[in-house]
Amino acid sequence: MAYQQRHESDYIFAFWTALGWTILTVGIYGLYVVYQLVRRMRDHNRRRLELLEGATAYAWERAERQGLTEELRPAFERIAGNLAVLRNMTTDFRDPAIWTVLAVIGSGIVNIVVYVLLDGDLVKHDYHEGAVESDLAAIYGRLGLSVPAPDPGRLKGRHNYVGRIVATVLTCGIYGLWWLYDVMNEPNRHFEQNWAWEDGLARAVQSG
């Protein structure tokens, strides 16, 4: 179910379309942008957690049938630790409706806070889910199923928050558009990379 629901959680932004509608609606559409920015990362993390937990449970069952649980236990323990981090992230304050209301009240300041939080969430989320994907790829390989290993080059660093805030202030908000572009498109790429890995996982499970 988590695999099938990815197009519900993983919203893909088109920056120029969003910017155009924001201008045409005198900023009102921008509130919808804030809502979707927060909602999609919250829902993506929840969906990925469910998918990775299911993939781990399936792998453990196969390992038990093949008598490989003790050999693979260290990898499963690492997975449990990384899944715990992703699970804890679901308790962070990321209610999209509340953040949208705050954006109405605080305007640009709240938008900057949202950009910082979402970038930090993406970096943290990607690091830990990538670690899970790597261990699952090795486990499935040992179980006779082919699951692609994640590309370590996909990991991104955190934005230079201080530098970006200063640039946004000095340019009277113009640089904020570039920042928004990154906050939209970096998760877009992240989702598409996740989908490719999920497709490989689905093929492996179906073939097993």
Query: How many CB atoms neighbour CB 89 within 10 A?
Result: 18
pTM: 0.93
Closest CA to 89 of 130, 122, 115: 122
- pLDDT digit string (tens) for the chain, length 208 residues: 899 999 999 999 999 999 999 999 999 999 999 999 999 999 999 999 999 999 999 999 999 999 999 999 999 999 999 999 999 999 999 999 999 999 999 888 999 999 999 999 999 999 999 999 999 999 999 999 999 999 888 889 999 999 999 999 999 999 999 999 999 999 999 999 999 999 999 999 998 7
pLDDT in tens, 134-157: 999 999 999 999 999 998 888 899
Burial category of 175 from C-beta neighbours within 10 Å (exposed 0-12, middle 13-18, buried 19 and up)? middle
d(CA 25, CA 20): 9
Contact (CB, 8 A) for 187 and 40: yes
- Supply the pLDDT for residue 108: 86
3 state SS for 75-132: HHHHHHHHHHHHHHHCCCCCCHHHHHHHHHHHCHHHHHHHHHHHHHHHHHHHHHHHHH
pLDDT in tens, 151-177: 888 889 999 999 999 999 999 999 999
**Domain ranges within the chain, ordered by starting residue:** 13-207
